[in-house]
Amino acid sequence: MKYNIIPVKWSDEGVLMLDQRLLPTEEKWLTLKTYDEVAAGIKDMVVRGAPAIGVSAAYGIALGAKNFVGTTVADLEDEIGYISEVLAATRPTAVNLFWAIDRMNRTFQAAKADGKSVSEIKEILKTDALAIHDEDIESQRLIAQFGGELLGDNDTVLTHCNAGALATGGVWGTALGVIRGAVDQGKNISVIADETRPYLQGARLTAWELMEDDIPVTLITDNMSGHIMKKGSIQAVVVGSDRIAANGDVANKIGTYMVAVLAKRHGIPFYVAAPLSTVDLNTPTGDEIPIEERDRIEVTHVKGHQLAPEGVGITNYAFDVTPNDLVTAIITEKGVARAPYTESLKKQFED
Ligand code: MRU
């Protein structure tokens, strides 16, 4: 297996992040030495993509604990509570962020209940953050395997945004994991990548990482997919997700809903690939998923170049929700869930 993109890493010097804002023209690694820097890295999109945000938050807590200079477990608990709040305030939609923060807090509570010392707890938190990262990569490997089986030889797959190694703990990715899995199974797959305005994750990141792995990719603007589907050139759509509600409604990058409607119209399967850390059984339907709104400048400007008249009204939703009836299947590390999702997703947590 040749895949090796890992966007975030733990090191003795701090948390290392590949600065995704600069890709594809520059590959620069940042060393983040404090939890505030990790939080800023998430907020400012140095790292992005739901599972990658979760892994980064876990490292942020481990780093904050490592840097803690107090001596009592009670003070460390306060510090971790504060760090968790700072990290939780970075981005609202990707539930992996809150999942990872919760898990690290549960790990802290278990260590405290076991009577561990401050230095022991620091080590335990670091070990758990590393485990979250390893488990995420293993989940993507299984998603790749299960999802790869859904694709046929010589299929052309449309994807939206970047749900690749860059958006996860690394190596496989979710949607791109499915594609890598099919390629690994010996299938000839080519990809059509939506550029994904306004932040251009498809153009900048998906195109880059597929080219790194020698998987054929063609870039299109977001408004071309209907025409290409109508021509019969796409056999499957595969996307990732930032949060899947208990009923199978899927929040993902803005524009995903449009693609799902088009796929339905053209009888093309619409697959969602995501680890169970993206499935939020506490959110009953997509209507309750908080949708991030981002700065107007992402719409009015590209790389500092002004595209729209000064002062024009702007809406910049970062995500939308695809209703579950447009979703052919949800691929997780536990297998392929199909409608009714309220039952099939719940069952995956129980298995
Ligand atoms: O705003 P972003 O770049 O963090 O949005 C990312 C996406 O929408 C991805 O499709 C999603 O997180 C799934 S990543 C495996």
Print the SS3 string covering 100-114.
HHHHHHHHHHHHHHC
Q: What is the pLDDT of residues 95-139, one digit of tens each?
A: 999 999 999 999 999 999 999 999 999 999 999 999 999 999 999
From atom 6 of ligand 1, which residue's Cα is the shortest distance away? 49
| Ligand 1 touching residue 268 (CB < 6 A) | no
Q: 325 CA distance to ligand 1 centroid (A)?
A: 21
Q: 280 CA distance to ligand 1 centroid (A)?
A: 16
| Ligand 1 touching residue 201 (CB < 6 A) | yes
Q: Is the pLDDT reported for residue 252 higher than 80?
A: yes
Q: 219 CA distance to ligand 1 centroid (A)?
A: 18
Give the CATH number of domain 144-350; options: 3.50.50.60, 1.10.3720.10, 3.40.50.10470, 3.40.50.300. 3.40.50.10470
From atom 15 of ligand 1, which residue's Cα is the shortest distance away? 163
Q: What is the pLDDT of residues 6-41, one digit of tens each?
A: 999 999 999 999 999 999 999 999 999 999 999 999
Residues of the chain with CATH 1.20.120.420: 8-141
CA-CA distances (angstroms) from residue 161 to 79, 114, 136, 210?
A: 35, 43, 19, 13
In the block, residue with structure tokens 């009836």:
325
| Ligand 1 touching residue 168 (CB < 6 A) | yes
| Ligand 1 touching residue 163 (CB < 6 A) | yes
Does the active-site annotation cover 78? no
Q: Which atom of ligand 1 is nearest to the CA of 164?
A: 15
| Ligand 1 touching residue 148 (CB < 6 A) | no
| Ligand 1 touching residue 170 (CB < 6 A) | no
Q: Which stretches does DSSP call E strand in 117-248?
A: 156-159, 190-194, 217-220, 236-239, 243-245
Q: Which of 155, 194, 242, 249 is catalytic?
A: 242
| Ligand 1 touching residue 256 (CB < 6 A) | no
Residues of the chain with CATH 3.40.50.10470: 144-350
- How far is it, in rounded angstroms, from Cα 180 to Cα 144? 7
Q: 111 CA distance to ligand 1 centroid (A)?
A: 33
Q: Is-above-0.95 flag for pTM?
A: yes
Instruction: State the pLDDT confidence band at 210, using cuts at 50, 70 and 90.
Output: very high
Q: Which of 188, 167, 201, 143 is nearest to 42 (CA)?
A: 167
Q: Which atom of ligand 1 is nearest to the CA of 240?
A: 13
Instruction: State the pLDDT confidence band at 2, using cuts at 50, 70 and 90.
Output: confident
pLDDT at 1: 56
CA-CA distances (angstroms) from residue 41 to 8, 186, 201, 258?
A: 11, 37, 16, 30
Q: What is the pLDDT of residues 192-208, one digit of tens each?
A: 999 999 999 999 999 99
Q: 73 CA distance to ligand 1 centroid (A)?
A: 36
Instruction: Give the other-Cβ count within 10 Å of 121's Cβ.
Output: 22
| Ligand 1 touching residue 250 (CB < 6 A) | no
Q: 53 CA distance to ligand 1 centroid (A)?
A: 9
Question: What CATH code would you report for 8-141?
Answer: 1.20.120.420
